[in-house]
Every structure is written in structure tokens, then in C-alpha cells.
Amino acid sequence: MESSCRPCWARSPSAGNSWSSNCWISSRCSWNWTPLKNAAVPNSIKPLHSHTDSEGAAMSLPQQVNIVEVGPRDGLQNEARSISVEDKVRLVDDLTNAGLTHIEVGSFVSAKWVPQMAGSAQVFERIKRSDGVIYSALAPNLRGFEDALAAGVREVAVFAAATEGFSRRNLNCSISESLERFAPVMAAARLHGMRVRGYVSCVLGCPYEGSVPPAQVAAVANELHAMGCYEISLGDTIGTGTPGATRALINAVADQIPRGKLAGHFHDTYGQALVNIYASLEEGIQVFDSSTAGLGGCPYAKGASGNVATEDVLYMLQGLGIETGVDLNKVIDAGQRICDVLQRSNGSRVAKARMAQ
């Protein structure tokens, strides 16, 4: 996914603010949170507009959608081929030039466990930042947050799993233990006026526990929101979700968290990513994570494909008349360029079709 699909950097039992700090906040935790000062404000979301379904029933879709581009971080982190800082910088700059306004650039985690993210500080130092664009990074503990802060990062992300099985295998700790690790990150972010985005993985299926009750996802998402995460990204890590399950999930989480603070993060393992995004649009979700060229995957879920391709999401949204402010052709170029570097095929159907013309 997404945020939680990565080799664990907390395998050691040692504690403290080291890379091996063990993990999450108990279900009984209460977190007193006040709005951050001088925090960046996300792009304004336009109101919904109406259309009709095949039976003529009134439906609503947003006039505008925000895309969170996760390719430079979530897309590249599990690639076997070494990627230079120069190529990572070029990718981020290409995506900026394409009009994307939120790009997840890298992770401040142990290079031992996630070697592809070892140069994140250098990438942040060298990218050409554009006004109005959020350049964020994963910072799962206080050490990571401090390194991100030193690199000039102004927004970070933390992640949790919706199931104990995935949490223990991916993070080497329970959900409650993992949440406890975020408390100092949230406190430091508040002190420095930084926003924190939260991820929840395995929201529509777990490789170890199977189906996941929506109420279980809602409980974890609510903990992250209560701690101060301004937005919660709901990740279908293994791509097993369907539109009906997606609707049920959103409604369950929305009973505790406003829909305007939710985002969708879908993988296309079973070819359901776009229909799940469409169902989410109808349920009032207006922010979606995606990865150029469909880069990404999950080493803990056999057969799980990459994130839904940004190009494919943009093509669908444009066809629906929904504004994104992103240049599809420039994203296609950016995706193909990094695929050439990686010597791998492009995972975007739209990109393949356009390039074949």
C-alpha cells in the first residue's frame, strides 16, 4: 500500500526513540488535540454535483478530487533495483510539473529495513519545491520525525493496521503497542505546527485473517483521528475489496469520522480499484491515493499488485467531468520515465494505450 506494506523497521525489542522502537495507542487512549498553528491548508474541495444512475435515481459526485501521489515513496520502496537520488528527484519534479499538489516523497525509516528510502533526506534537499504543493514523508516514530524535520519536511504520515495478524507480521507488535509509538510523533508535530496524515492498512481484507469487520477498521481509524491525524487514508492493501464492501466500510468509519477527513487507497489485485473509487466518490470521498505507473505492492500479501495507477484514476475522473488540476499526459511521461529506469513494464492501462497510439 501503502503505508503499511513495507519491511518492518521495528524487529528489535529495544525501546526508546531508536529505529527499533516498538510500536501503536491503546483503545482506551484519549488524546487532547488542538488545531495546529501555521499548518498547511489542503486544497479546497468543491461541493458535490448530481447525476443519475442507470435507473434514473439521483446520485452525487464531487466536482473536484484531490490526488495524493504516493509513487515516489510507496511505489518505489519495494523495488529490487537500486534507484539513484537523481532519478527519485527527477520523478518528484516531473510529478510536480504535472500539477499534482500532494506528493509523498520518501520515508524516514531504517535503511536496514527499507534500503530504497535511504536517500530521502537528499531527495528532499534537491527537489524543486513549488508553492501550494505538499511534499510529505512517512515518519513512524520520533527519530524519523526528527530526521524529517531536519530535512525540511512540513507534513508527515504514520500508519496502523486494521488487524492484529497484519500488525504483528508487518510491524512486529500489536495494534495498541503500535499506536503508542505515535504519541511522541503527534506531540512533536503539534509543537512544530506540522500536520500528520494517518494510514490504516488491510481495511477490506487481510492476508492472515481474511475479511475484516468494518467496525474494526473504524475503531483504529478513530484512534488515529483522535490523536490528531487531519486525514485518514483507508487502504485496501491486498486489493480484495468490492464496491459493496467499500460502501459498507466508508459508512461504518463515517459514523465516527467526517467523510471530509477520509481518503481512499486502493490496490488493483482483483481489478476492483477503479470501481471501488467510483463507489467511494458516490459515498462522498474526495481524496484518493494513487501511484504513477501503478508502482508499488505488498511483500506480505502474495499476488497483491501495485497501487492503482494515477493515470488510470485521472482518466476516469476526467471522463466524469471531475476536476483534478493534473495534466494526464505529463503524468504518463513521468510514469514511463521511471519505468524505463526500473526496467519494468508500466502498470497503467491508460499509459499503455496512449503510448501505443
Q: Using 50, 70 and 90 to split pLDDT, how confident is the model at 29? A: very low
Three-class secondary structure of residue 337 per DSSP: helix
Q: Using 50, 70 and 90 to split pLDDT, how confident is the model at 20? A: very low
pTM for the model: 0.85
The confidence score (pLDDT) of residue 299 equals 63
11 to each of 8, 74, 169, 356, how far by Cα in Å? 6, 20, 10, 45
> Is it the case that residue 13 has pLDDT exceeding 60?
no
Q: Which tens digit of pLDDT belongs to each residue from 253-303? A: 999 999 999 999 999 999 999 999 999 999 999 999 999 999 987 666 666
The confidence score (pLDDT) of residue 303 equals 63
Bridge-based pairing state of the strands 66-69 and 231-236: unpaired
Give domain limits for the chain: 63-356
- 157 phi and psi, to 5 degrees? -130, 150
> Is it the case that residue 4 has pLDDT exceeding 60?
no
Fold of the domain spanning 63-356 = TIM Barrel (3.20.20)
> Is it the case that residue 51 has pLDDT exceeding 70?
no
Q: Which tens digit of pLDDT belongs to each residue from 122-145? A: 999 999 999 999 999 999 999 999
> Is it the case that residue 5 has pLDDT exceeding 70?
no
pLDDT-above-70 percentage for the chain: 82
Q: Which are the catalytic amino acids?
A: 298
Provide the greatest CA pair distance for the chain.
60
The confidence score (pLDDT) of residue 294 equals 97
> Is it the case that residue 332 has pLDDT exceeding 80?
yes
Q: How far apart are CA 312 and CA 181, in angstroms?
A: 36
Q: How many CA atoms lie within 13 A of 106 on its CB side?
A: 32
State the chain's mean pLDDT as an integer: 87
Q: Which tens digit of pLDDT belongs to each residue from 80-109? A: 889 999 999 999 999 999 999 999 999 999
Q: Which tens digit of pLDDT belongs to each residue from 249-258? A: 999 999 999 9
Average pLDDT value for residue range 183-192: 97
Q: Which tens digit of pLDDT belongs to each residue from 215-263? A: 999 999 999 999 999 999 999 999 999 999 999 999 999 999 999 999 9
